[in-house]
Amino acid sequence: MSITNAEAMQALSRFGELAWFALPIEYNDAYDYYQVPYLGWRYTSPQEDLAQYIEEALRKIPTQVDWELDRTRRNWLVLPSRILREAHGLEDPDFSNVVHSINTHDQEFCLKAISDLELIIRHLQQIPTPGN
């Protein structure tokens, strides 16, 4: 992925002050495979209408896999819908096993998702902020 942490942070900070941010590496050198990507963050003052705006923006991007914004916990995550579907949500104890299984058995999916996440971040960098 050619997106840097700084670019992803800049894209998200356009919509509010970031209190926390995570964009894990897409390639795991220790295990020699690509990983399912996600984008995680928390705003200092999250707003419900902003979440709906980001969800709507996600729906407009022509991605190869389905994505969603998960706000079931304190941090917001943009991740492939497949993970939430197969793991039955973030709280499920099997969540990490599902991610590991996809990482080790479906590199094609991982590569498509990595490409998609770049599109998502680029889109968030370009769309108008709410109210503009």
Cα(103)–Cα(90) distance, rounded to whole angstroms? 17
Q: Taking each helix axis from N to C terminus, what angle separates 48-59 and 107-126, rounded to the nearest 10 degrees?
A: 120
Q: What is the pLDDT along the chain (132 residues), one digit of tens a residue?
A: 578 899 999 999 999 999 999 998 899 999 999 999 999 999 999 888 999 999 999 999 999 999 999 998 889 999 999 999 999 888 888 888 999 999 999 999 999 999 999 999 999 999 998 876
Distance CA 23, CA 6 (A): 10
What is the C-alpha to C-alpha distance for residues 115 and 130, in angstroms, rounded to an integer? 26
Is 77:40 a contact under the CB 8 Å cutoff?
yes
Q: What is the pLDDT of residue 132?
A: 63
Residue boundaries of the structural domains of the chain: 5-126
C-alpha 81/C-alpha 66 separation (Å) is: 5
The distance from CA 65 to its chain's CA centroid, rounded to whole angstroms, is 12
